[in-house]
């Protein structure tokens, strides 16, 4: 495992293949392995001629854990991905983000457009710009003594996934309470790089992909039939759409 440190934050990452760099940004309570390696993203991207880079976001995996809410604002988390480009001496990369990672990707496209060649927003439609649940509700679920003590259904889902990924529950609770967990609509509207939005038809977390595509200029929407939020990430159709998009974009 590789890592680097910037501004007191250590970020773990993988770097495989050769060609145009593609940065993979995982979702909440996940890791680079759970979101990208185990579902089989690295090999097909590398075989398609891309350099595959995936990081553990702060608070996740092997990267630094913080317990202060302000350390998890989307602008702060985006800085980690841009710092990784600096560390690897990469001027510009394609970004593929899933769920929370889609928010980081969109923020990077809006505020660091010179570093982002294209942006794929997976598992996140219009809810990119609005919270899908109460941060306090999820935080309380993560802080509960046990999964059985959590009564809220959304909280139970997040707690179950966080336990499955062996996440630091306290760090994730701090992230959940961040008041800057979304991308403002005005930021999404000012993105000018090519954007692809991929959402499953049964994804109750993402919100409308078509509505987000209408908000972001130069964007396209791909709908995956019958896929929910958990099943979209490893779907062959998602991978096919991403590789086709990367090969078609300028």
Tens-place pLDDT, residues 119-172: 999 999 999 999 876 668 899 999 999 999 999 888 899 999 999 999 999 999
Six-digit token pair at 78? 């985006």
Residue 158 lies inside a defined structural domain of this protein? no
User: Is 216 contained in some domain?
Assistant: yes
pLDDT, tens digit, 9 for 90 and up, residues 144-154: 999 999 998 88
CA pair distance 24, 102, nearest whole angstrom: 10
CATH number, residue 124: 3.40.50.1820
Residue 221 parent element (H or E): strand 219-224
- Structure tokens that stand for 207 in this block: 């919100």
Residue 171 lies in a domain: no
Separation CA 109–CA 20 (nearest Å): 17
Q: Is the distance from CB of 29 to CB of 165 less than 8 angstroms?
A: yes
Number of domains in the chain: 1
Distance (Å, rounded) from C-alpha 110 to C-alpha 183? 9
Residue 16, Cβ density class (10 Å: 0-12 exposed, 13-18 middle, ≥19 buried): middle
Q: Are 14 and 54 in contact (CB under 8 A)?
A: yes
pLDDT digits (tens, 9 = 90+) for 57-103: 999 999 999 999 999 999 999 999 999 999 999 999 999 999 999 99
Q: In the prediction, which pLDDT does 136 show?
A: 84
CA separation for the pair 53, 22 (Å, rounded): 6
Q: Dihedral sign, CA of 134, 204, 207, 93?
A: positive
| Domain extent at residue 50 | 2-130+178-248
The rounded distance, in Å, linking the Cα atoms of 180 and 100 is 12
Write down the pLDDT at residue 135: 65
In-domain check, residue 169: no
pTM for this structure?
0.96
**Structural domain includes residue 159:** no
141 within a domain of the structure (yes/no): no
Residue 212 covered by a domain: yes
- Tokens representing 47 are 């075989």
38 in any annotated domain = yes
């Amino acid at each position: 495992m590789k890592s680097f440190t910037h501004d007191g934050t250590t970020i773990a990452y993988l770097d495989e293949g050769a060609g145009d760099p593609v940065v993979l940004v995982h979702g909440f309570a996940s890791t680079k392995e759970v979101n990208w390696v185990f579902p089989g993203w690295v090999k097909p991207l590398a075989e398609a001629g891309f350099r595959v880079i995936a990081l553990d976001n702060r608070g996740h995996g092997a990267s630094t854990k913080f317990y202060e809410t302000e350390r998890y604002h989307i602008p702060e988390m985006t800085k980690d991905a841009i710092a990784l480009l600096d560390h690897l001496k990469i001027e510009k990369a394609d970004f593929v983000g899933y769920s929370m990672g889609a928010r980081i990707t969109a923020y990077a496209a809006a505020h660091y457009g010179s570093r982002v060649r294209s942006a794929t927003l997976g598992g996140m439609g219009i809810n990119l710009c609005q919270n899908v649940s109460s941060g306090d509700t999820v935080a309380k679920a993560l802080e509960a003594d046990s999964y059985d003590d959590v009564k809220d259904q959304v909280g139970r889902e997040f707690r179950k996934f966080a336990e499955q990924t062996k996440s630091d529950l306290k760090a994730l609770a701090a992230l959940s309470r961040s008041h800057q967990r979304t991308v403002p609509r005005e930021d999404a509207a000012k993105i000018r790089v090519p954007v692809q939005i991929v959402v499953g038809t049964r994804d109750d977390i993402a919100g409308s992909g078509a509505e987000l595509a209408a908000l972001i200029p130069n964007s396209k929407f791909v709908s995956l039939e019958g896929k929910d939020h958990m099943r979209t990430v490893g779907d062959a159709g998602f991978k096919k759409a991403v590789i086709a998009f990367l090969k078609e974009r300028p």
